[in-house]
Structure 1
Amino acid sequence: MDDVKIGEILLPGDEEEQESQRQRVRKRFWPVLKRAFRQVPFSRDLVAAYFCALDRRTPTRVRGILLAALAYFVLPLDGIPDILAVVGFSDDIAVLTAAFAAIRGHIREDHYVEADRALMDGLEEAG
């Protein structure tokens, strides 16, 4: 994936697009994460990003970037099909890594606390 494509994926979008992505992410995040858990090397950060993206205290632009990256992660069809074991999530990891770099410092400690709780509860949605 080149930087232009990742940059296009991470556009925060308007409020309507963000709401659409928020609903898609809330619906599909946990099932996809359960399937991908062993292939994603930063699952704790990913779950914390999920909680950050749904937190209304998070700045709109940051929420938009995270929702765009998380929506890409939960899409059933993307650049490389996720059913291809390790290779399938490599494009998702690239997009998520770019998103994390763009929003550095906005994922707060309470998001990590929620992530830890959710991971300990067997990847069930908390909150």
Structure 2
Amino acid sequence: MDDVKIGEILLPGDEETQDKQEAKVRRRFWPTFKKAARQIPFSRDLAAAYYCAMDRETPLRVRGILLAALGYFVLPIDAIPDVLAVVGFTDDIAVLTTAFTLINRHIKERHYEAADRVLADDATQA
């Protein structure tokens, strides 16, 4: 990740950019999440961040930062390929941790409740 700065990845972009990013995140988030959930120590926060990013009440800049971070997370090819077991998600973790630090007060209890419901559903299906 030396040649790509996290700050550049997390640029919120304009509404059109966010709309494109949202569509990509909606399509790819849950399949990627299911592959990564055991390797990422903050799966609940990640799922809550997804719901926060999809919430139209979340401020535009915050949504943009989250969509950028989640977009990086769902990219099949990034600085360290995700297929490399535990190591593959380390760059994603760095980007997501930075995004959470910037916006964590915007992730509301309702976002965590939605995350808890989906995580509980996953646990019962496993």
TM-score interval, smaller chain: over 0.9
Q: Give the aligned partner of residue 20 of structure 2.
A: 20
2 CA distance for matches of 1:104 and 1:71?
18
Kindly tell me the number of residue pairs found equivalent between the two proteins: 123
What is the CA–CA distance in structure 1 between the aligned matches of 2:45 and 2:104, rounded to whole Å? 11
**SS of the residue 1:104 aligns to:** helix
User: Take 1:96 and 1:104, find their aligned partners in 2: how far apart are those partners?
Assistant: 11
TM-score (norm 2): 0.94
SS at match of 2:40: coil
Alpha-carbon deviations, 1:44-75, whole Å to 9, x = none? 00000000000000000000000000000000
Structure 1 unaligned regions, length at least 5: none
Q: CA deviation at 1:121?
A: 1.1
Q: Return the alpha-carbon distance in structure 1 between the equivalents of residues 45 and 21 of structure 2.
A: 19
CA distance in 1: counterparts of 2:55 and 2:73, whole angstroms:
19
**Which residue does 1:82 correspond to in 2?**
82
How well do the aligned residues superpose, as a CA RMSD in angstroms? 1.4
Aligned to 1:105, the other structure's residue is in SS state helix
Q: Which amino acid aligns with 2:43?
A: S
Q: Flag structure 2 segments of 5+ consecutive residues without an equivalent.
A: none
Distance 2:121 2:14 in 1: 34
Letter in 1 for 2:41: P
Using the size of structure 1 for normalisation, the TM-score is 0.93
Q: Percent identity?
A: 71
Shift in Å at residue 104 of structure 1?
A: 2.3
* Equivalent in the alignment of 1:67: 67
* SS at 2:122 equivalent: coil
Residue type at the aligned position of 1:81: P
Q: Which residue of 2 aligns with 1:42?
A: 42
